[in-house]
C-alpha cells in the first residue's frame, strides 16, 4: 500500500492505528511453571551475590597484604604487578557478579508480561500554542519594546558590548609571537655537543654512516635559566657523515665539513623529532607521518606529507678542532606557519 505525500502527513504503519497482528500470547518460562526451576534460579542468584561479597572482602585483603613492589612472573603473559592483578581480579569479578545476578533475577524471576503504553503527541496542542503566543504578545505590548526604538537600540548596543571585556581578558594567556619562531639559540661559534653525554665532537670521531644526536653546548644552562624546554624544542640537531662524493647538493656553499652534515631534528611537517636515518640511502624518515628527506640532496622531501626540506645548520671546526656552527639556521625550523615566507 503506497502513501502519497501531503505536507504534514503522519505516516502510520501500513494498516492504520490498530495492529494487524496482535501481541503474541504470553509464553511461560520454565521458572513460571516449575517451582523447582524458580528455586534453582533463586539459589543461583543468591550464590552470585554471596560470592560477590566475598570478592569485595578479598579486595580488602589484597590491598592490605600485597605491596605495589611485588611482581608475579606469569610466563608468556609477562611479569605483572601482583597488586594490580589481585585487586583487579577480586573487585572486577565481584562487581561483574552483582550485575549478572541482577540480570539473571530479571530474566528468570521477575514478571515478563509485556505491557503496552500509548504514545501521546510529543508537541504542544494547538490551544497551548495560541495561549503561549498570546502571552508573549501581551508581554511585548506591556513592555513597550516594540514602540520605543530608542530603548530597543540602546539595549542591543549595551548587550553587544558586554562580551568584549571577557574576550579582552584572555589576551594575557600568552605573549605575541613576534619573530621568535624564526630563531634558535645557535650562533656563530656555538659548539656542538652530543646529547646526554654533553661531550664535544671532533670530525674524526664520526665514521661514514655515523648518526649523532646533538645540541648547542650552552643548551643545558639556558634550559636551567629559562625553566622550560623551549630552546631544546628548536635547537636539536642530528649530524650524519657520508662520503663527500655522495653529497649531491647542500643548502649552502661550505655548510658541511668533510662529509659531515648537520640538520635540524624537528620535522618540517608538524614538528615530531626525526632521527630515523637510513645510512645507505641517506634518507631521514619521520615516524609520525612518514615524511622522508634526502640528506644527501639538501634535505629535500622525497616522500610523505611534509612540504619543506629539512633545514641544514652550517658547520665548521673551531681552532681547537671541535665542530661548531657557523651561524643560526638560515630558515625557521619546525612546522610551517602563516608568516613564514
Is 161 an interacting residue with respect to another protein (CB under 8 A)? no
8 Å CB contact between 318 and 324: yes
Q: Choose the binding region for another protein from 141-149, 251-259, 283-291, 322-330 (rule: CB under 8 A).
A: 283-291
- With binding defined as CB under 8 A, does residue 259 bind another protein? no
* Only segment of 117-125, 136-144, 155-163, 318-326 that touches another protein (CB under 8 A): 117-125
Q: Is 309 a residue that touches another protein (CB under 8 A)?
A: no
- Nearest CA to 298 among 315, 285, 280, 311? 311
Q: Is 215 in the site for another protein (CB under 8 A)?
A: yes
Contact present, 40 and 47 (Cβ < 8 Å): no
Q: Least Å distance between CB 143 and another protein?
A: 30
Give the Cβ contact number of residue 181 at 10 Å: 15
Task: Give, as ranges, the residues between 24 and 63 that touch another protein (CB under 8 A).
Answer: 24, 27, 29-31, 63
- Which residues 128-157 are close enough to bind another protein by CB under 8 A? none
Angle (CA) 219-224-227 rounded to 5° is: 115
Q: Which residue's CB is nearer to another protein, number 124 or number 143?
A: 124
Q: Which stretch binds another protein (CB under 8 A): 124-132, 146-154, 224-232, 245-253?
A: 224-232
Q: Tell the smallest beta-carbon distance from residue 314 to another protein (Å).
A: 20
Does 14 help bind another protein (rule: CB under 8 A)?
yes
Which residue stretch of 68-76, 130-138, 140-148, 155-163 sits at the interface with another protein (rule: CB under 8 A)? 68-76
Residue 187 beta carbon to another protein: minimum distance, rounded to whole angstroms? 18
Q: What is the 3-state secondary structure (H, E, C) of 140-158?
A: HHHHCCCCCHHHHHHHHHH
Q: Which of 231, 314, 303 is nearest to 269 (CA)?
A: 303
* Using rule CB under 8 A, residue 80 touches another protein: yes
Place of cell 638560515: 330
Segment near another protein (CB under 8 A); pick from 95-103, 124-132, 155-163, 320-328: 95-103
To another protein, the closest distance from the beta carbon of 122 in angstroms equals 5
Q: Which string of DSSP letters, residue by residue, matches 269-310?
A: TT--B--EEETTTTEEE-TTT--EEETTBTTEEEESS--SPP
Is residue 192 at the binding interface for another protein, with CB under 8 A as the rule? no
Interface residue with another protein, options 35, 36, 119, 164 (CB under 8 A)? 119
Part in contact with another protein (CB under 8 A); list of ranges 110-118, 126-134, 144-152, 320-328: 110-118
Least spacing, CB of residue 255 vs another protein, in Å: 20
Separation between Cα atoms, residue 183 and residue 331, nearest integer Å: 8
Is 317 near another protein (CB under 8 A)? no
- Measured from the CB atom, is 97 or 262 closer to another protein? 97
Shortest CB 315 distance to another protein, Å: 15
CA distances for 92 relative to 43, 44, 55, 73, angstroms: 22, 19, 9, 21
Cβ within 8 Å of residue 192, ≥6 positions away: 200, 201, 214, 215, 216, 217, 237, 239, 262, 315, 322, 323, 324, 325
Among 33, 35, 36, 67, binds another protein (CB under 8 A): 67
Beta-bridge mates of residue 284: 277, 293
CB count in 10 Å sphere of residue 306: 22
Q: Is 276 in the site for another protein (CB under 8 A)?
A: yes
Amino acid at each position: 500500500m503506497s502513501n502519497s505525500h501531503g505536507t504534514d502527513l503522519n505516516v502510520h504503519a501500513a494498516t492504520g492505528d490498530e495492529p494487524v497482528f496482535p501481541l503474541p500470547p504470553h509464553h511461560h518460562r520454565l521458572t513460571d511453571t516449575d517451582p523447582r526451576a524458580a528455586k534453582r534460579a533463586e539459589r543461583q542468584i543468591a550464590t552470585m551475590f554471596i560470592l560477590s561479597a566475598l570478592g569485595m572482602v578479598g579486595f580488602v585483603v589484597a590491598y592490605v597484604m600485597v605491596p605495589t613492589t611485588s611482581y608475579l612472573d606469569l610466563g608468556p603473559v609477562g611479569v605483572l604487578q601482583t597488586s594490580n592483578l589481585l585487586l583487579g581480579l577480586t573487585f572486577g569479578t565481584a562487581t561483574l557478579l552483582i550485575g549478572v545476578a541482577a540480570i539473571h533475577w530479571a530474566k528468570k524471576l521477575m514478571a515478563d508480561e509485556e505491557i503496552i503504553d500509548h504514545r501521546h503527541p510529543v508537541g504542544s496542542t494547538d490551544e497551548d500554542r495560541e495561549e503561549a503566543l498570546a502571552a508573549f504578545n501581551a508581554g511585548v505590548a506591556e513592555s513597550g519594546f516594540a514602540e520605543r526604538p530608542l530603548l530597543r537600540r540602546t539595549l542591543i548596543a549595551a548587550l553587544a558590548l558586554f562580551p568584549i571585556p571577557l574576550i579582552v581578558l584572555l589576551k594575557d594567556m600568552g605573549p605575541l609571537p613576534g619573530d621568535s619562531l624564526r630563531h634558535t639559540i645557535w650562533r656563530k661559534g656555538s659548539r656542538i655537543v652530543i646529547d646526554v653525554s654533553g661531550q664535544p665532537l671532533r670530525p674524526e670521531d664520526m665514521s661514514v654512516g655515523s648518526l649523532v644526536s646533538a645540541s648547542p653546548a650552552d643548551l643545558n644552562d639556558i634550559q636551567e635559566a629559562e625553566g622550560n624546554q623551549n630552546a631544546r624544542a628548536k635547537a636539536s640537531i642530528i649530524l650524519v657523515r657520508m662520503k663527500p662524493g655522495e653529497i649531491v647538493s647542500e643548502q649552502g656553499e661550505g655548510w658541511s665539513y668533510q662529509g659531515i652534515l648537520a640538520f635540524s631534528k624537528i620535522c618540517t611537517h608538524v614538528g615530531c623529532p626525526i632521527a630515523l636515518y637510513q645510512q645507505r640511502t641517506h634518507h631521514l624518515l619521520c615516524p609520525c607521518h612518514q615524511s622522508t628527506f634526502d640528506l644527501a640532496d639538501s634535505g629535500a622531501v622525497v616522500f610523505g606529507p611534509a612540504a619543506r626540506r629539512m633545514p641544514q645548520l652550517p658547520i665548521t671546526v673551531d681552532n681547537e678542532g671541535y665542530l661548531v656552527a657557523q651561524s643560526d639556521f638560515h630558515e625557521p625550523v619546525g612546522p610551517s606557519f602563516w608568516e613564514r615566507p
